[in-house]
Amino acid sequence: MQQRETRPRLIQALKDAFSLPDLRQRLLFTLGMLVVFRFVAHVPMPGVDPTALAKLFEENQLLGMLDLFSGGAMRNFSVAAMGVYPYITASIIMQLMVPVIPQLRALSEEGESGRKRINQFTHWLMVPMAALQGYAQLALLRNQGVITEASALATVAMITSLVAGTVFLVWLGELITERGIGNGVSIIIFGGIVAGLPEMIGRGMIAKENWIGVVIFAIFALAIMFVIVVFTEAHRRIPVQYAKTAFRGARMYRQSGSTFIPLRVNTAGMIPLIFAMSLVIFPGTVASYFAAAPGQEPNLASKIVEWFSPDASLPLGFIYWGLYFLMVVAFAFFYTMVIFEQMNLARTLQRQGGFIPGVRPGKPTTDYLNKVISRITWGGALFLAFIAIMPFFVREITDVGVLTLSSTGLLIVVGVALDTMKQIEAQLTMRRYEGFLR
């Protein structure tokens, strides 16, 4: 019953948003920035062999993951080939360094000014990481015969162009955050993934001979999206009470209130999938440089490539996907605990005069919250792990090879769509409230 009421409410929210001039301007600005992003994604770099590049993407799954964050720009090797991936990497590194470095931890406790300073450090870190990643991509493409130009001047020009493309996309994302709707960087990634849907539909038309498999594939995709929505919105409510003291004239009054802390089941989001996929693919990627050429006797490197290939059939497929499953669970717990420690909810509650009923403030509150987050993280970790390995089972069940189901892509699309709709509804609620006050 609740889902039937939610769907018309979301459609009505979009209609109401376009009926208000300021919200309509924000939505149109967001769409305009996405058009600019797609235009930049099709500006190619010179000296690239398209046939060799397409063949490389068929053989290297890691490049496919990076192409996800560039919105298809890396598959064309445009000036925006790296997308916003260096910025995401820099953000993750800064999040992991905040609890370790005392100076960064002190900045994180200074409120908005501290967050702006940390965000500035993230932008500075993004530039050298983008340069390193750009050089690594050029080296990989040269080794595979995709790029033939190897002069120092051409290399510097290409790396500079790639870094500029990443900085430009991050700037577009920040413009969307400031003047549009939603988180700008997430919207950029969302737009790139959605832009690949027509190509996927075309692949489905190619596989129409196996129409039963295509139908089953579509059913699995819808079911996975439903599960993602459920677990993305799932949270555990921790009741909190506040004791406040208010002064009216010369008299003191004690007031009390109650609320709750929503602890998300999936606090880590898609980060564990990115970490786990990068590490699982890494051995096969390195071994591919030393593998025997086709037609020759397979060596140890060839075996490693076969073991760590996501396209391997049974029973070798269990090596890659089983390891992927375990690493997603491990990274989900690790990243959740890091983020939860940075939040420091027990200290915040004590400073604001709040307490959890039946739990003493201070260390008992910290132990209680850690116990709760550890339990609910099992649900989030197993959810992410099953979502991660679902493409393997979908491929084996449907026997549709031309279609690929990206679990990370689905998580991003569903998460960004839900977050954007919430922000639109929040904007509408604020304007209705202001109109009521007037």
Cβ(228)–Cβ(384) below 8 Å = no
Asked whether residue 433 carries a pLDDT value surpassing 80, the answer given is: no
- The verdict on residue 200 lying in a domain is no
| Torsion angles phi and psi, residue 313, rounded to 5 | -85, 175
Q: Can you tell me the distance from the alpha carbon of 89 to that of 51, in angstroms, rounded to the nearest whole number?
A: 30
Q: Which helix (H) or strand (E) holds 198?
A: helix 197-206
Asked whether residue 325 carries a pLDDT value surpassing 80, the answer given is: yes
User: Residue 204: pLDDT band by 50, 70, 90 thresholds?
Assistant: low
Which domain does 94 fall in, by range? Answer: 1-195+412-438
Same structural domain, 419 and 301: no
Same structural domain, 366 and 437: no
- The verdict on residue 336 lying in a domain is yes
Give exposure, 47-76, as e/b (b: 16+ Cβ within 10 Å): ebbeeebeebeeebbbbbbbbbbbbbbbbb
Identify which has the larger pLDDT, 191 or 432: 191
Q: What is the tens place of the pLDDT at every residue in 31-56?
A: 899 889 888 888 888 777 777 777 77
DSSP-derived 3-state class of residue 238: strand
Same structural domain, 154 and 188: yes
Same structural domain, 182 and 297: no
Identify which has the larger pLDDT, 307 or 223: 223
Same structural domain, 236 and 190: no
The token duo for 138 is: 């050029």
The token duo for 284 is: 């096969």
Least confident of 9-13, 254-258, 325-329: 254-258
Q: Can you tell me the distance from the alpha carbon of 51 to that of 146, in angstroms, rounded to the nearest whole number?
A: 8
Asked whether residue 247 carries a pLDDT value surpassing 80, the answer given is: no
DSSP-derived 3-state class of residue 73: helix
Q: What is the pLDDT of residue 124?
A: 92
The token duo for 370 is: 């850690």
Q: Can you tell me the distance from the alpha carbon of 212 to that of 397, in angstroms, rounded to the nearest whole number?
A: 11
What CATH number has the domain bearing residue 296?
A: 1.10.3370.10
Region 372-392 average pLDDT: 87
CA distances from 181 to 45, 187, 237, 411, 419 (A): 31, 9, 28, 19, 10
Q: What is the pLDDT of residue 436?
A: 44
Least confident of 113-122, 265-274, 425-434: 425-434
Q: What is the pLDDT of residue 254?
A: 47
Residues 6+ apart with CB under 8 A from 73: 40, 41, 42, 67, 79, 80, 81, 83, 165, 192
Identify which has the larger pLDDT, 284 or 225: 225
Asked whether residue 335 carries a pLDDT value surpassing 80, the answer given is: yes
Asked whether residue 336 carries a pLDDT value surpassing 80, the answer given is: yes
Asked whether residue 300 carries a pLDDT value surpassing 60, the answer given is: yes
When the pLDDT of each residue in the chain is averaged and rounded to a whole number, the result is 77
Q: Which range, 46-50, 174-178, 309-313, is most confident?
A: 174-178
Identify which has the larger pLDDT, 409 or 401: 409
Q: What is the pLDDT of residue 128?
A: 92
Asked whether residue 337 carries a pLDDT value surpassing 50, the answer given is: yes
Same structural domain, 400 and 429: no
Sole residue written with tokens 């200290």: 347
Q: What is the pLDDT of residue 312?
A: 64
User: Residue 294: pLDDT band by 50, 70, 90 thresholds?
Assistant: low
Q: Can you tell me the distance from the alpha carbon of 321 to that of 86, in angstroms, rounded to the nearest whole number?
A: 26
Sole residue written with tokens 């969307």: 176
Same structural domain, 214 and 128: no
- The verdict on residue 120 lying in a domain is yes
User: Residue 202: pLDDT band by 50, 70, 90 thresholds?
Assistant: low
Same structural domain, 20 and 101: yes
Q: What is the number of alpha carbons within 13 Å of residue 232 lying toward its C-beta?
A: 20
The token duo for 224 is: 């996975």
- The verdict on residue 438 lying in a domain is yes
CB atoms within 10 A of CB 269: 19
Asked whether residue 252 carries a pLDDT value surpassing 60, the answer given is: no
Nearest alpha-carbon partner for 420 in 14, 3, 106? 14
Nearest alpha-carbon partner for 328 in 381, 282, 379? 381
What are the residue ranges of helices labelled H in 250-343? 271-288, 300-307, 317-343
Q: What is the pLDDT of residue 71?
A: 61
Same structural domain, 392 and 418: no
Q: Can you tell me the distance from the alpha carbon of 431 to that of 437, in angstroms, rounded to the nearest whole number?
A: 10
CB atoms within 10 A of CB 183: 19
Asked whether residue 115 carries a pLDDT value surpassing 50, the answer given is: yes
Q: What is the tens place of the pLDDT at every residue in 119-144?
A: 889 999 999 988 988 887 787 777 77
Cβ(196)–Cβ(75) below 8 Å = no
- The verdict on residue 70 lying in a domain is yes
Region 393-402 average pLDDT: 69
- The verdict on residue 201 lying in a domain is no
Cβ(69)–Cβ(85) below 8 Å = yes
- The verdict on residue 242 lying in a domain is yes
Asked whether residue 7 carries a pLDDT value surpassing 50, the answer given is: no
Strands 251-264 and 354-355: unpaired
- The verdict on residue 337 lying in a domain is yes
Counting residues of the chain whose pLDDT is more than 90, the rounded percentage is 5
Cβ(118)–Cβ(99) below 8 Å = no
pTM: 0.76
Q: Can you tell me the distance from the alpha carbon of 298 to that of 301, in angstroms, rounded to the nearest whole number?
A: 8
Q: What is the pLDDT of residue 10?
A: 59
Nearest alpha-carbon partner for 19 in 337, 436, 431, 437? 431
Same structural domain, 191 and 264: no
Counting residues of the chain whose pLDDT is more than 70, the rounded percentage is 79
Asked whether residue 370 carries a pLDDT value surpassing 80, the answer given is: yes
Question: What's the number of domains the chain is made of?
Answer: 2
Q: Can you tell me the distance from the alpha carbon of 385 to that of 200, in angstroms, rounded to the nearest whole number?
A: 24
Q: What is the pLDDT of residue 206?
A: 60
Same structural domain, 431 and 396: no
Same structural domain, 273 and 313: yes
Identify which has the larger pLDDT, 94 or 309: 94
Asked whether residue 307 carries a pLDDT value surpassing 50, the answer given is: yes
Q: Can you tell me the distance from the alpha carbon of 154 to that of 47, in angstroms, rounded to the nearest whole number?
A: 10
